[in-house]
Amino acid sequence: MIRSIVIILTIIVVYSCSTKSEKGESEVVEKIYFIPRTYYSDHKIFPKLSRKYIKKKKAEIERFYSQTFGKDKFSGGFLVAKNGQIIFEKYQGYSNFEKGKRNNSRTPIHLASVGKVLTATAVFRLVHLGKLKFDQKVNSILTLFPYETITIRMLLNHRSGVPKYAYFASQDSLWNKKLTLSNEDILDILTVNSLPLDFVPDTKFTYNNSNYALLALVIEKVTKQTFSQAMKKLVFEPIGMKNSFVMNLKNDSTIVSQSYKSNYQKVPFDFLDAINGDKNIYSTPRDLLKYDMAMYNDEYISKKIKDEVYKGYSYEKPGIKNYGLGIRLKEWTENQKLFYHNGWWHGNNSCYVSLKKEKVTIIAISNKYTRSVYNSVQISSLFGDYPYEISD
């Protein structure tokens, strides 16, 4: 009884503070979306690893890290955990080379397309709360959206056929590249110009950033918040991701971790750097570990929804690769599946691997270009029957 009263009073206080600090947001929205608790499932819900096991795996991973990244090839953060317990992590390089600012465990780095995993999770949360449906028509939310048959699910699994914004925004007849493109501009261009679809919706898979730029607009429309605010309320705060945020190009470009070529030559921001949803989320390996653990919690995202998330939707072509909802899959057999997502944008590379059966998380984020980040998936073979080889 006393505990219930304390919880109720906590919710009232948190809600009251939130109402005062978030001017312009409706009370209804705040009651629905602000979550006064943390859904991060820490390692206590899984068996504790023995010191012997940790020591053995740490030595194997350290050997991989040394061979793969060396002293100068990598700039960012790398982490491997099992059962929520960190076995190995390493941070090196510079978040700002010119100022000599080094990366550490609290340095947020551009996730590139790994950010799609988090954007998708905001959608899952809205579905969990009953505010959205996977098979809901996009134009029932974005009323100007010109394509009648496309659903939220088709945006999530890249089967919509919507034109790619990087292509049509590069056409002088459609966009002036001296101006910064926004998510709203993408929708306007599609609407005003009646651009034809690339293919009939839900007939094939084509990876496409436009899908997630549109999902960001959907999230804003449903929550009546900016994408940045919605991500904070739906994903970052509930999971305890304290070093994660959506970049605002105008306000944050000089203070965020910078992007570099392999020789530490800075990669400048361009006219596509204000697009949210498909990218522009900054985070850390430790925050992503919290995210991975939260996805084992059925109170955060229900099992029914996760069953829809972690399955393939594109079997037109034979092969082991597939795409779920906001996550890539490799399926060797029914019981041998690997879930992951890679990212690349400017000089940033990222890799997120989740071995659900073994409760293993592998994360590598670099702000200095190196494709070696994607080799992180090879570590899977140290924990289960995955067909990867780590060279000696």
Helix intervals (H) in 303-348: 303-309
Both tokens of residue 332? 């060797």
**CA dist., res. 174 & res. 190, Å (int):** 10
Q: Which one-letter DSSP state was computed for residue 372?
A: G
105 by Cβ neighbours in 10 Å (0-12 / 13-18 / 19+) ranks as middle
**Tokens of residue 210, six digits:** 């436009």
Cα–Cα separations (whole angstroms), residue 180 to 109, 177, 244, 253, 274: 22, 7, 24, 13, 7
277, HSE (Cβ side, Cα atoms, 13 Å): 25
- For the beta sheet containing 321-323, the strands, ordered from the edge strand earlier in sequence to the opposite edge, are 85-92, 76-82, 360-366, 348-355, 336-345, 328-333, 321-323
Going from the N-terminus, what domains does the chain have, and what CATH number goes with each? 26-382 (3.40.710.10)
Q: Would you write out the chain's pLDDT as a tens digit for each of its 392 residues?
A: 444 433 333 433 333 443 333 333 333 333 333 333 566 655 557 889 999 999 999 999 999 999 999 777 899 999 999 999 999 999 999 999 999 999 999 999 999 999 999 999 999 999 999 999 999 999 999 999 999 999 999 999 999 999 999 999 999 999 999 999 999 999 999 999 989 999 999 999 999 999 999 999 999 999 999 999 999 999 999 999 999 999 999 999 999 999 999 999 999 999 999 999 999 999 999 999 999 999 999 999 999 999 999 999 999 999 999 999 999 999 998 889 999 999 999 999 999 999 999 999 999 999 999 999 999 999 999 999 999 988 65
